[in-house]
Structure 1
């Protein structure tokens, strides 16, 4: 019976003994080397590695948390820097484009001053989409004083003439369209002909007499006799001259001075060539 009582109450009895021992240690104190200090020393010896491990894990967790927060901060800063860099590049591209446009506009204004005539600059905003004709669409129209028949130029040379207008836009027939024609001549030999476009692309000089000295590489300029383009504007250079066959005229192919596909800005002459005005006054 006694053994059964002790066994059944072992937890309570053990707790009481430990409590009494603790109270004794607190009341009397423990000196180094005492027997009572040995259990505590053993307990500290056992618990110290565990405590150290927990401290290390805690420090490691804190370090990982700090590193993570630093990484998130750096990532956010990098994202912001990328946004700022993209904005700077966009601004640089916009400024570079404005600089190029201003340069082209300045060259067009110099051309206007050299011609000594009234003119309007316009942006190219479109081109023919059907392939049936070769035209450009400009950003200026009747509100800017434009009307059909006006000459259109670029810094490099002749572009074409206006064939249709609206208040804020106009359409230009390019000189390489098969419906286009202008009076021109060989600057070296003064041989005249009609510069016309071909259906399958390109320019030719029509009605050039076979007796004329016309060679590849010669420069073709406007004669001013068509009443649209002033005299002496660059049209292009001769690519080839064919004399085969019994015909009266030479077969002359011309390379345009202007790359029509690269045009961004043009100059429209808003008054006829000066010498035609003078002849009208007479």
Structure 2
């Protein structure tokens, strides 16, 4: 076979020869890899030892970042939900407070209306808008004044009893002197036995029933009423109840402490009596 003939045969069978050699080489490599140990295992071990920690670190870092990322969005959602719930709770509490206040006001007004009907007195209602609890005076301010027919000396009452009397009038407001003020004095009587005395304020939480002799019968719990004399307050209005008695004080009179019928720390709505005229002259 000459050279020309060999070249011709190579060109003719070039593709089958290359394909066959490729298949043989793949078979040899597969066979070598299946052997234990195979010739490439040291190189494989080296590559695995070098790359495995890197892949492990990358995997752990990715998982941690994924947890943080998803946790962040979860916390953001939770925080937003908590904010919404807190807002709804605050709205609910605010509405409940308003509802309770409306119920409380309705109950006070109901009692005041019942008292107004029972008392059968020409009165006008007003609301307390402020207090002046100074060292010298115990006063309150009302949201009605001269434009509403309020005049100096008008008695101020509520469903519990006597509150005080008007001492200053303005076009839209009025100032009342409370029963517990030191300058306040009311002609009073003990309901049980009609004993007379003067109920005077002390500037504190209690009043004193003055000028009752020690021999007179006064007991703790006795109701003290306005006598109506002098026209300062309607007759029979409750002033308070006897809280303590001391007959050991010097002099001929006993010291009688009286708790006012009105709770001045919770004073809100009041009634002003229009027909009772005070005999006191306006200063």
Match of 2:123 in 1: 119
1:190, CA displacement in angstroms?
A: 1.0
Work out the CA distance in 1 between the residues paired with 2:76 and 2:273: 62
User: Which consecutive unaligned segments of at least 5 residues does structure 2 have?
Assistant: 1-17, 34-38, 279-283
- Checking the alignment, whether the CA contact within 8 Å between 1:151 and 1:160 is kept in structure 2 is yes
Q: What are the superposed Cα offsets for residues 198-236 of structure 1, whole Å, 9 maximum, x if unpaired?
A: 467742223435664333332111122231322211111
The change in CA–CA distance for 1:64 and 1:178 in structure 2 (over 3 A counts) is: closer
- Does 1:167 pair with 2:162? no
Q: What are the superposed Cα offsets for residues 129-173 of structure 1, whole Å, 9 maximum, x if unpaired?
A: 431112112222223322211111133211111111212221111
Instruction: Answer with 30-39 or 259-268: which moved more.
Output: 30-39
- Checking the alignment, whether the CA contact within 8 Å between 1:141 and 1:168 is kept in structure 2 is yes
Match of 2:3 in 1: none
Give runs of aligned pairs for residues 123-272 of structure 1, distance below 5 A. Answer: 123-198=127-202, 202-208=206-212, 212-238=216-242, 239-240=244-245, 242=247, 247=252, 249-272=253-276
1:36, CA displacement in angstroms?
A: 10
Aligned pair count?
249
Pairwise CA RMSD: 3.4
Work out the CA distance in 2 between the residues paired with 1:205 and 1:60: 82
1:113, CA displacement in angstroms?
A: 1.1
TM-score, with structure 1 as normaliser: 0.73
Match of 2:106 in 1: 102
Higher Rg of the two aligned structures: 2
Where 1:101 maps in the other structure, the secondary structure is helix
Instruction: Answer with 185-194 or 196-205: which moved more.
Output: 196-205
Match of 1:86 in 2: 90
Where 2:125 maps in the other structure, the secondary structure is strand
Q: 1:31 aligns with which of 26, 34, 38?
A: 26
TM-score, with structure 2 as normaliser: 0.73
Match of 2:4 in 1: none
The change in CA–CA distance for 1:237 and 1:58 in structure 2 (over 3 A counts) is: closer
